[in-house]
């Protein structure tokens, strides 16, 4: 096996493509400082009192489990324990649900003053919370109470798998019959960008012992699923899809749009960490060929997954550039460097819609520099 999980070696594609190591480190440092401690019109991180903080979705003026868990992952990768703990305490204080059908899950959207906007969860938040907490445990060791990171992570995953069993209310976040993550717990379809087999491989090591085989199967199932969901020519995945991989054709969710952009990034990171599936290289090549050759010069549009251009601008164009570059971790084609160079020369996004773009920007920056690591 050649993946970083086995070798401990993380590729620095920026360095491989000729960028100076000091400039790479400076670029990462500048991005962190901007996102966490920049000016009010740049930052996403906001402290509350002396021991809590939230990460704001600037397009919707709320805090989401997606963003809170993403920010925690950014912090553990950078060894920022203070910020990590503040984000986690805010999440447990205001997002975690103690009662009702979704007790044990986190409310996916909460206003910045701590009021829940919804009492429904979003599985992508839970899986990132769990992974960030496990990495915190491995990097810093367990603390007490909610800072006993490994226990908190196991508690989250136990709910995700077993919710609703034995006549209790609620629904699990993974469909028991096929081990595929759901879009939301009480639905029968999924979101391809939620599929993180590289996380499930690690959950299979650290979750409750009785659930470890489930997570091994989930990793296998998700890799097989992505083959079905991604178009065989373009490599593009829809925002939502059925369990057989067919696009979910309601509310325009069959298109390559915002959520979809995470798929090439996830494929790249899974390949970098585990290198389990050579199809991932083929898919990454297809995606990069589509953007660099087929629609060159029009990479900020909305597309059908077969590549048809919809005459409408993408809501998150910087995210497209960032995740196309991260796909280079799996790609073996001719467009790796072109995608990485374009990303390198693209600045962080500004304005009200900067949140999602800049989260994916940061993950791509970490991954391509060899700094999105497995802590074990």
Angle of the 262-274 helix axis to the 354-368 helix axis, nearest 10: 20
What residue has token string 């984000």?
Answer: 87
Q: Is the distance from CB of 184 to CB of 122 less than 8 angstroms?
A: yes
Tell which CATH classification among 2.60.40.420, 1.50.10.10, 1.20.120.80, 1.20.200.10 matches the domain 4-368: 1.50.10.10
Residues 133-137 have a mean pLDDT of 99
Q: What does the pLDDT read at residue 314?
A: 98
Residue 329: C-alpha distances to residues 12, 94, 167, 311, 313 (Å)? 9, 37, 44, 30, 27
**358 and 348 in contact (C-beta within 8 Å)?**
yes
CA–CA separation, 119 and 105 (whole Å): 9
Among 88, 79, 64, 63, CA closest to 153 = 88
User: pLDDT digits over 146-195, tens only?
Assistant: 999 999 999 999 999 999 999 999 999 999 999 999 999 999 999 999 99
Task: Dump pLDDT digits (tens) for 324-350.
Answer: 999 999 999 999 999 999 999 999 999
Q: How confident is the model at residue 73 (pLDDT cuts 50, 70, 90)?
A: very high
- Listed by start position, the domains of the chain span 4-368
- Residue pair 290/335 in contact (Cβ under 8 Å)? The answer is no
DSSP character at residue 324: H
User: What are the pLDDT digits (tens) for 301-327?
Assistant: 999 999 999 999 999 999 999 999 999
Q: Residues 245-279: pLDDT tens digits?
A: 999 999 999 999 999 999 999 999 999 999 999 99
Query: Measured between alpha carbons, how far is residue 46 from residues 35, 65, 213, 302 in Å?
Result: 10, 15, 39, 32
Averaged pLDDT of the chain: 98
Q: How many CB atoms lie within 10 A of CB 135?
A: 23
- Tokens found for residue 43: 């930052």
In this structure, the dihedral spanned by the alpha carbons of residues 67, 69, 74 and 75, taken in order and rounded to 10 degrees, is 120
The model's pTM: 0.98
Q: DSSP labels for 66-113?
A: HHHHHHHHHHHHHT-HHHHHHHHHHIIIIIB--SSTTTTSB-SEEETT
By annotation, the residues acting in catalysis are: 66, 259
- How are the residues of the chain apportioned to helix, strand and coil, as percentages rounded to the nearest 5? 50, 10, 40
- State the average pLDDT over residues 89-97: 98
pLDDT tens digit string along 180-190? 999 999 999 99
- Residue 1 is predicted with a pLDDT of 65
Name the strand (E) or helix (H) holding 256.
strand 255-256
pLDDT of residue 35: 98
């Amino acid at each position: 096996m050649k993946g970083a999980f086995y070798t401990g070696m993380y590729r620095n594609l920026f360095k491989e493509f000729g960028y100076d190591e000091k400039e790479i480190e400076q670029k990462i440092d500048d991005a962190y400082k901007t996102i966490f401690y920049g000016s009010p019109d740049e930052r996403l991180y906001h402290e509350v009192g002396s021991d809590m903080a939230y990460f704001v979705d600037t397009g919707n003026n709320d805090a989401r489990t997606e963003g809170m868990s993403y920010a925690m992952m950014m912090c553990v990768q950078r060894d920022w324990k203070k910020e990590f703990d503040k984000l986690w305490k805010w999440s447990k204080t205001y997002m975690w649900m103690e009662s009702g059908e979704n007790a044990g899950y986190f409310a996916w959207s909460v206003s910045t003053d701590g009021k829940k906007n919804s009492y429904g969860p979003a599985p992508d938040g839970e899986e990132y919370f769990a992974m960030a907490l496990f990495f915190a445990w491995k990097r810093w060791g367990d603390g007490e109470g909610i800072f006993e990171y490994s226990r908190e992570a196991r508690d989250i995953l136990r709910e995700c798998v077993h919710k609703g069993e034995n006549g209790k209310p609620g629904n699990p976040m993974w469909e028991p019959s096929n081990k595929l993550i759901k879009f939301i717990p009480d639905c029968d379809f999924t979101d391809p960008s939620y599929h993180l087999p590289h996380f499930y491989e690690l959950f299979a090591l650290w979750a409750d012992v009785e659930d470890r085989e489930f997570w091994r199967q989930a990793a296998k199932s998700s890799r097989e699923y992505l083959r079905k969901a991604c178009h065989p020519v373009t490599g593009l995945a829809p925002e939502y899809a059925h369990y057989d991989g067919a696009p979910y054709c309601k509310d325009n969710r069959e298109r390559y749009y915002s959520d979809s952009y995470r798929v090439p990034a996830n494929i790249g990171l899974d390949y970098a960490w585990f290198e389990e599936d050579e199809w991932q290289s083929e898919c990454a090549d297809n995606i990069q060929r589509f953007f660099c050759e087929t629609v060159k010069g029009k990479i900020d549009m909305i597309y059908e997954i077969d590549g048809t251009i919809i005459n409408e601008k993408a809501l998150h164009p910087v995210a497209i550039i960032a995740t196309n570059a991260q796909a280079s971790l799996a790609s073996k084609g001719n467009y790796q460097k072109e995608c990485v160079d374009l990303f390198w020369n693209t600045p962080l996004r500004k304005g009200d819609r900067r949140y999602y773009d800049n989260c994916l920007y940061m993950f791509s920056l970490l991954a391509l520099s060899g700094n999105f690591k497995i802590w074990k």
